A = this chain, B = another copy of it.
Amino acid sequence: MDVDTRLLRYFAAVAQEGTLTGAAQKLFVSQPALSKRIRHLEEDLGVRLFVRSRSGMTLTEAGRELASRVPALLDEWDEAVRAAGRAARVLRLGFLDAGAVEAVPEVVAEFRHTQPEWRVELRQFDWSEPSAGLGRGEVDAAVVRLPFPGQERFTVVELFVEERGVLLPARHPLANSETVEWRELWDEQFAATGPETGAWREHWLAVDERDGRPVRVGAVTRRPDEWLGAVAGGCVALAPTSVARFYAHPGVVFRPVHGVSPSRVGLARPRGRTHPAALDDFLEGVVRRLGRT
């Protein structure tokens, strides 16, 4: 019996979530797709894994048995991938937006001299995973925007802060102002990330800085293009200043905002996982170059 590990992740998500609909949106697939896939898994195994009801999916005994083993399997697989990466002398650094890692190439260049046999790989992750691949163990370290969900499971060093501004549709009345007051934006429709991103989402909606004024979410996006598209389509979104340097989109303008807190960029790494000395070297370089201290 062969399966895709992705299918196992699907299964684990449904098992944990208890509903197809819920799991589907966590996984960013459609509910029918998930439904079909899970059914297909059951057929392959020749075993019913869930009892379906109007209230959701409940694990059968067989399902529980499987659910109790799958997470460990997935972890071991991810660990095997990391081990192979270490053996190949590859350091993987996750990131979410080009702005946060703007100065990293210089660190890499320098690192290449001190550790010539190592290679650094930068991997971008979408915003469904604000941990930039750390959560699923796909990277050795990540440059992240703080705070992010699951942060307590990692060692985090704050690197620098960056003012936040706003992305506006070019035809928006405020698009002509030099700068914008945060309170002027409270009633706008925001482009946000998915609910699974918790405090991260809230930080980018600045819910703590609205005097309790409710948030209006006009679009859920998880990658820069969707995001800019949503803004071009009429939404607004808070964004770090560096966005203006890295992304251009006709119909979208960036304006500084007064009265909203800055974005904090941090370096995160797994707590206490064995890692090569070269990783320390490299990360030290990152902190030295990007850190404000």
Contacts and interface: CB of A to CB of B under 8 A. Distances in A.
Contacts of A9: 2
Interface string A37-81: 000000001111100000000001111111001101100111111
A5 interface: yes
A3 interface: yes
A235 to B, nearest CB: 32
Contact of A84 (B4, B65, B81): B65
> Interface SS of chain A: helix, strand, loop or mixed?
helix
A69 B62 contact: no
A85 interface: yes
A170 interface: no
A46 B121 contact: yes
Given A1-B138, A87-B64, A76 B73 contact: yes
Contact of A85 (B62, B63, B70): B62
Interface of A: 1-6, 9, 45-49, 60-66, 69-70, 72-73, 76-81, 83-88, 90, 92, 121, 138
Given A66-B84, A69-B79, A76-B76, 12 more contacts: A2-B9, A47-B87, A47-B88, A49-B84, A61-B88, A62-B85, A63-B84, A65-B80, A65-B86, A66-B83, A70-B80, A72-B76
